[in-house]
C-alpha cells in the first residue's frame, strides 16, 4: 500500500529531521495555515465523525485528505451526500485505492506538498495504533479516535488569526 513516498533510509545524516522541520515550516506558513483552517472546517462538517486509514473515500467514510476533498467537492455540487457519491466513484473500490498517492490528491486540491505529506503520515502511520496498558500491547485505534486525534492535531497547529 503506497499512499505516500516514504523511506527510512537517509541519503545523508539528518535528512529525516530536516524533512520534518520543513514540514513544520510549511504548516506554519500562510498557505499551510489557510489549508489547516479549511481542513478543520471540513472535519467538523463531516456527517460521520470518523476517519479511515489507507482509503480516500469508501462506504461513506474518508481519510483526512478525503475530508478536505469532500468538502471542496460539496461546495461545487451543493450537497455533502452527492459529493461523497462522486468522490467514491472517482476513487473506485477500496482495492483500487491501494495505489493512490493520497498526498498527491491533496496537492492537486491546493495543499502545500509538505502539509499534504504530513497529514497522510499522521492519518495512515502515526495515528494507526495506541498503547493499551491493560493488554500491555499496541492496538489499532478506532476511526472515531483517529478523527479526534487528527482534529486535535490540526487545532494544535493553528495560529491565532491575529498572529
**141-159, pLDDT tens digit by residue?**
899 999 999 999 999 999 9
Residue 87 is predicted with a pLDDT of 94
- Name the band, by pLDDT with cuts 50, 70 and 90, for residue 1: very low
Please give the share of the chain, as a percent, with pLDDT higher than 70.
93
Residue 77 C-alpha cell reads as 455540487
Residue 94 is predicted with a pLDDT of 80
Average pLDDT over residues 29-37: 97
Residue 2 is predicted with a pLDDT of 37
* Domain ranges, residue 114: 17-157
Please give the share of the chain, as a percent, with pLDDT higher than 90.
63
- Name the band, by pLDDT with cuts 50, 70 and 90, for residue 163: low
Domain count, the chain: 1
Ordered DSSP codes for 53-91: SS-SEETTEE-HHHHHHHHHHHHHHS-HHHHHHHHHHHH
Cβ–Cβ under 8 Å, residues 35 and 128: no
> Is residue 27 situated within a structural domain?
yes
Residue with cell 495543499: 111
> Is residue 163 situated within a structural domain?
no
> Is residue 162 situated within a structural domain?
no
> Is residue 7 situated within a structural domain?
no
Rounded alpha-carbon distances, angstroms, from residue 141 to 66, 103, 147: 19, 22, 10
Query: Does the structure show a pLDDT above 50 at 5?
Result: no
Task: Give the pLDDT confidence of 51-71 residue by residue, as tens digits.
Answer: 999 889 999 999 999 999 999
Exposed, middle or buried: residue 136 (CB in 10 Å: 0-12, 13-18, 19+)? exposed
Amino acid at each position: 500500500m503506497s499512499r505516500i513516498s516514504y523511506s527510512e533510509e537517509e541519503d545523508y545524516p539528518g535528512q529525516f529531521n530536516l524533512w520534518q522541520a520543513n514540514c513544520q515550516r510549511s504548516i506554519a506558513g500562510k498557505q499551510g495555515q489557510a489549508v489547516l483552517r479549511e481542513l478543520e472546517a471540513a472535519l467538523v462538517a463531516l456527517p460521520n465523525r470518523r476517519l479511515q486509514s489507507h482509503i480516500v473515500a469508501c462506504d461513506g467514510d474518508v481519510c483526512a485528505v478525503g475530508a478536505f476533498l469532500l468538502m471542496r467537492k460539496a461546495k461545487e455540487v451543493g450537497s455533502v451526500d452527492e459529493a461523497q457519491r462522486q468522490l467514491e466513484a472517482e476513487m473506485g473500490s477500496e482495492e483500487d485505492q491501494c495505489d493512490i498517492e493520497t498526498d498527491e490528491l491533496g496537492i492537486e486540491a491546493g495543499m502545500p506538498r509538505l502539509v499534504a505529506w504530513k497529514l497522510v503520515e499522521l492519518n495512515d502511520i502515526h495515528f494507526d495504533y495506541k498503547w493499551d496498558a491493560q493488554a500491555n500491547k499496541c492496538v489499532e485505534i478506532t476511526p472515531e479516535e483517529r478523527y479526534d486525534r487528527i482534529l486535535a492535531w490540526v487545532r494544535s497547529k493553528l495560529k491565532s488569526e491575529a498572529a
